[in-house]
Amino acid sequence: MAKRTRIQDLFTAEVDSQYVAMGWVRTFRNNQFIALNDGSCLANLQVVVDFENTDPALLKRITTGAALRIEGTLIASQGKGQTVELIAGNIDILGDCDAETFPLQPKKHSLEFLREIAHLRFRTNTFGAVFRIRHALAFAVHEFFHNRHFVYIHTPIITGSDAEGAGEMFQVTTLDLHNVPKTDEGAINYKKDFFGKPTNLTVSGQLEGELAALALSDIYTFGPTFRAENSNTSRHLAEFWMIEPEVAFADLDDNMDLAEDMLKYLISYVLKHCSEDLAFLEQRLLDEEKQKPQQERSEMTLREKLNFCIENPFERLTYTEAIDILRNSTPNKKGKFQYPVEKWGTDLQSEHERYLVEKHFKKPVILTNYPKEIKAFYMRMDDDGKTVRAMDVLFPGIGEIIGGSQREERYDVLLSRMEEMHIPAEEMSWFLDTRRFGSVPHAGFGLGFERLVLFVTGMTNIRDVIPFPRFPGNAEF
Ligand code: 4AD
Ligand code: MG
């Protein structure tokens, strides 16, 4: 049996030779032209069937969705719209597809409908493109850090620490919920649980990442994280992937430089390696925007937007400067914000972040030095005692894409911050140890991988850039 050639490779293969293609039928026109797709690229291979000399019973089985093996001769195409076509010699049906009940018809389906059949949506152009780009981005993440000699650390998914405070956690237990063991005092007896203590799914690999960075200097994590917040938005998932570099001997400026370099590298990688898929998604976005009123359409095409992000330095400013801009902004004065900006110290909402990025600066923004009250305990205190060395990277259409900080490396300051925020120091002794045994200035951040995929693909709902999204009320598949 001759070996299969991927359809992507057939487009550049030598013509007038024999090949075997395998894939799924997208359409079959006039009993003669099969559009075959194997997911290796967006484009379909045109297969030409000699219908006069083909068994009619076989022809009937060539339906949308059927899986075929076709052996034939590759020739330079006579028709328009493709460079090569395969003249079918032998056709085998690998898997029949009942056209009556197959949910994917050769027409445009809504993203909402496709979300309900997420097990089949890989077979569409849009999701093929999204998941090839998702792969390219994941690969580029490893390439970026590997080139800079970072060590990839696998931090635990089940965690016994609940101190990060990044969000609500999912508890992990093997206790029988119908018959929970109790202590003499009537509390849940976690000694009887699998780990002998309460455990959760991790919200971030940072704290463990810090331990590794304070020995290996430059590390990153890239793994799944879980948050049980009840956020039913187009930007939140209950299970998402996060990339978290952590760097010893680094301060907030180094951290911002790393974040900006990384984002630019990742976006450039996709522009360079995924041009066919990007062109398709760009057109999809243009078609979608035609439905919107003129003033809501974006001024740039998808690739213009991506190039713009690479070519321009991100705007860097402090939270305090941002509050001034927001307070004096037209939407604030006209009462257009759902959450009006008045006092210094309030947290920024996504509408404020998007105003800064999309209306005021019209480019990615890095906000720094937030009030300590609205940020995590581990961020390094500024000399004024009011703000911490936090940074959030804000992107157009997305809002916050990265959150990070320089870390508090001074034992006493960290301990008193933990006390202030009611974080039990006894349970965190392992974390505090790093500040006792050779502590150094260090910094890191977390990039929400799906938010990046969302930005790069121009999709609008985060549920469409992860194969099987988990969100409140949904853990299908
Ligand atoms: O800002 P966050 O909560 O930061 C941390 O977890 C830090 N421990 C990171 C670090 O310094 N190492 O989350 C980081 C990023 C956010 O900027 C956002 O892009 C993404 O993770 N994110 C989510 N993405 C999808 N769904 C959610 N529910 C998310 N929550 C955060
Ligand atoms: Mg954050």
- Whose alpha carbon is nearest atom 6 of ligand 1? 204
> How far is ligand 1, taken at its centre, from the CA of residue 204, in Å?
8
Q: Verify whether ligand 1 is closer than 6 Å to residue 288 (CB atom).
A: no
Cα separation, 372 vs 375, whole angstroms: 5
Q: What digits encode the pLDDT tens for the residues 367-383?
A: 999 999 999 999 999 99
- Whose alpha carbon is nearest atom 18 of ligand 1? 448
Residue 315 is predicted with a pLDDT of 98
Q: Which ligand is nearest to the CA of 227?
A: 1
Residue 28: strand pairing partners: 34
Q: Which two tokens stand for residue 25?
A: 């039928």
Residue 439 is predicted with a pLDDT of 98
Q: How long, in residues, is the chain?
A: 477
Q: Verify whether ligand 1 is closer than 6 Å to residue 34 (CB atom).
A: no
Q: What digits encode the pLDDT tens for the residues 386-395?
A: 999 999 999 9
DSSP conformation class of 85: E
Cα separation, 473 vs 33, whole angstroms: 43
Question: 151 to each of 19, 55, 147, 221, 223, how far by Cα in Å?
Answer: 42, 58, 10, 9, 14
pTM (predicted TM-score): 0.96
The answer to whether the beta carbons of residues 224 and 241 sit under 8 Å apart is yes
Q: Which ligand is nearest to the CA of 168?
A: 1
Cα separation, 467 vs 70, whole angstroms: 29
Positions in the chain short of pLDDT 50: none
DSSP conformation class of 177: T
The answer to whether the beta carbons of residues 245 and 445 sit under 8 Å apart is yes
- Side-chain half-sphere exposure of 198, counting CA atoms within 13 A: 10
The answer to whether the beta carbons of residues 439 and 249 sit under 8 Å apart is no
DSSP conformation class of 314: P
Nearest to 268 by CA among 456, 72, 423: 456
Cα separation, 228 vs 238, whole angstroms: 6
Q: Verify whether ligand 1 is closer than 6 Å to residue 402 (CB atom).
A: yes
At 394, is the secondary structure helix, strand, or coil? strand
Residue 319 is predicted with a pLDDT of 98
Q: Verify whether ligand 1 is closer than 6 Å to residue 237 (CB atom).
A: yes
Please state the atom number of ligand 1 nearest to the C-alpha of residue 166. Answer: 3
Q: What digits encode the pLDDT tens for the residues 47-60?
A: 999 999 999 999 99
Question: 228 to each of 22, 147, 472, how far by Cα in Å?
Answer: 42, 35, 8
> How far is ligand 2, taken at its centre, from the CA of residue 160, in Å?
22
Beta strands 218-226 and 239-248, pairing class: antiparallel
CATH 2.40.50.140, the chain: domain bounds: 7-107
Tell me the CATH number of domain 123-168+203-464, given options 3.90.1150.10, 1.25.40.80, 3.30.930.10, 3.40.50.300.
3.30.930.10
Please state the atom number of ligand 1 nearest to the C-alpha of residue 462. Answer: 25
> How far is ligand 1, taken at its centre, from the CA of residue 336, in Å?
27
CATH code, 7-107: 2.40.50.140
Cα separation, 364 vs 354, whole angstroms: 10
The answer to whether the beta carbons of residues 84 and 15 sit under 8 Å apart is yes
Residue 161 is predicted with a pLDDT of 80
CATH 3.30.930.10, the chain: domain bounds: 123-168+203-464
Cα separation, 248 vs 159, whole angstroms: 23
At 152, is the secondary structure helix, strand, or coil? strand
Cα separation, 42 vs 72, whole angstroms: 21
Residue 163 is predicted with a pLDDT of 64
